[in-house]
């Protein structure tokens, strides 16, 4: 590189120089998004929103660590995990929009906002389908680590099975996600073992983090009607089918860390409804108020 060449091309007309392209590209561009036979588009969209919103909201919480992590290496690692989840969210939201366009909020005529962004930035809280586990305040590093361990252990077990979904799009998304989640789970597990064994303080904080995160774990194991229907069609995974495996894996990590599975009361839902039904904790409203603020101020904006 010489002194002049760094600026070459900035004013050129060749779009291929931009790593991400100068125009928005549908993350599913070129992918056949036809529904598999007999599958209800609305149910598939709802399912994709569940998994997509889990990733989007957890990614948001992890990205809050940027410039705040305990050291530079961890700052970079958490950003990596957040980026992976954001990528999964984009694909899943795009799949939801393709499966059932009616889930996408309607924007003013001529708005250039693509479906994935309309779903992320213009949906209200009660249309978000993520589990409540992922939306809580980022807390200290122990809370983030324990939450990531639970979320990534569950998601990896799920995605490993979803890779054989009858929906070719979901199956491809899952196959890609498995590689990423294996790293996330490993990273979180190593930290839980380190923190559980490290110092008195790190142990105390990790126990407190377990007490914060565990009450919301049960929601991951609960089968929603949408999951039941689609699992029967060979499109989705029934979370009941991964619950035992997740238990064993989490027990292994806690045992290696010398930590006990906490005895806690579960955080109840509202009239039997929880995050998957669009009923959330108070934290999600604040996440969305922040995340959606710029996009909503410019509904016809081009970014």
Partner 1 sequence: MTQVEQERELQAQFDAVVARHDRIEPRDWMPEGYRKTLVRQIAQHAHSEIIGMQPEGNWITRAPSLRRKATLLAKVQDEAGHGLYLYSACETLGVSRAELTELLIEGKQKYSSIFNYPTLSYADVGTIGWLVDGAAIANQVPLCRTSYGPYGRAMIRICKEESFHQRQGFELLMTMMRGTDAQRAMVQESVDRFWWPALMMFGPPDDASPNTAQSMAWGIKRDTNDELRQKFVDMTVPQAERLGVTLPDPAIAWNAERGHYDFGEPDWEEFAAVVRGEGPCNAQRIAHRRRAHEEGAWVREAASAFAAQQAAAQQAQEVSA
Binding footprint of partner 1 on the chain (CB under 8 A): 1-3, 6-7, 9-11, 17-20, 22, 24, 56, 60, 63-64, 66-76, 79-80, 82-83, 86-87, 89-90, 93, 112-114, 116-117, 120-121, 140-141, 193-195, 197-199, 201-202, 205, 290-291, 293-295, 298, 300-303
Name the residue nearer to partner 1 (CB basis): 78 or 157.
78
The residues that bridge with 273 in the sheet, in sequence order, are 270
83 Cβ partners below 8 Å, 6+ apart? Answer: 59
Nearest distance in Å: CB 4, partner 1: 9
Beta carbons of 150 and 250 less than 8 angstroms apart: yes
Name the residue nearer to partner 1 (CB basis): 204 or 273.
204
Would you tell me how many other CB atoms lie within 10 Å of the CB of residue 251?
Answer: 11
The residues that bridge with 270 in the sheet, in sequence order, are 273
Burial of 4 by CB count in 10 Å (0-12 exposed, 13-18 middle, 19+ buried)? exposed
CA 113 – CA 101 distance, rounded (Å): 14
Nearest distance in Å: CB 111, partner 1: 10
Structure tokens at 300: 């016809």
Beta carbons of 140 and 205 less than 8 angstroms apart: yes
Tokens 């410019």: give the residue: 298
Nearest distance in Å: CB 179, partner 1: 18
Name the residue nearer to partner 1 (CB basis): 210 or 220.
210
Nearest distance in Å: CB 240, partner 1: 31
Name the residue nearer to partner 1 (CB basis): 3 or 37.
3
Nearest distance in Å: CB 182, partner 1: 20
Name the residue nearer to partner 1 (CB basis): 19 or 106.
19
CA 144 – CA 78 distance, rounded (Å): 10
Nearest distance in Å: CB 270, partner 1: 27
Name the residue nearer to partner 1 (CB basis): 234 or 299.
299
CA 12 – CA 8 distance, rounded (Å): 8
Q: In this structure, what DSSP letter does residue 133 have?
A: G
């Amino acid at each position: 590189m010489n002194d002049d060449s760094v600026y070459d091309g900035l004013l050129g007309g060749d779009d291929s120089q931009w790593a991400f392209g100068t125009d928005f590209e549908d993350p599913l561009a070129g992918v056949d998004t036809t529904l598999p036979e007999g599958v209800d588009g609305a149910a598939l969209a709802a399912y994709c929103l569940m998994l997509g919103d889990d990733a989007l909201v957890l990614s948001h919480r992890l990205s809050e660590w940027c410039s705040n992590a305990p050291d530079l290496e961890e700052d970079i690692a958490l950003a990596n995990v957040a980026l992976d989840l954001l990528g999964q969210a984009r694909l899943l939201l795009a799949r939801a929009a393709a499966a059932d366009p009616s889930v996408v909020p309607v924007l003013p005529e001529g708005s250039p906002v693509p479906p994935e962004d309309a779903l992320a930035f213009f949906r209200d809280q009660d249309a978000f389908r993520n589990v409540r586990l992922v939306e809580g305040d980022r807390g200290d590093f122990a809370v983030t680590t324990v939450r990531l361990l639970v979320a990534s252990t569950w998601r990896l077990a799920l995605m490993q099975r979803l890779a054989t979904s009858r929906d070719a799009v979901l199956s491809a998304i899952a196959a890609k996600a498995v590689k990423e989640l294996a790293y996330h789970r490993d990273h979180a597990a190593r930290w839980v073992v380190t923190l559980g064994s490290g110092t008195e303080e790190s142990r105390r904080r990790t126990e407190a983090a377990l007490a914060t995160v565990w009450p919301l774990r049960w929601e991951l194991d609960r089968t929603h009607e949408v999951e039941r229907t689609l699992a029967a069609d060979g499109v989705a995974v029934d979370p009941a089918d991964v619950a035992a495996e997740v238990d064993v894996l989490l027990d292994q990590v806690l045992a290696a860390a010398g930590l006990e599975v906490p005895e806690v009361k579960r955080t109840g839902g509202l009239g039997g409804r929880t995050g998957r039904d669009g009923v959330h904790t108070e934290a999600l409203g604040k996440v969305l108020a922040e995340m959606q603020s710029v996009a909503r101020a410019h509904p016809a904006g081009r970014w």
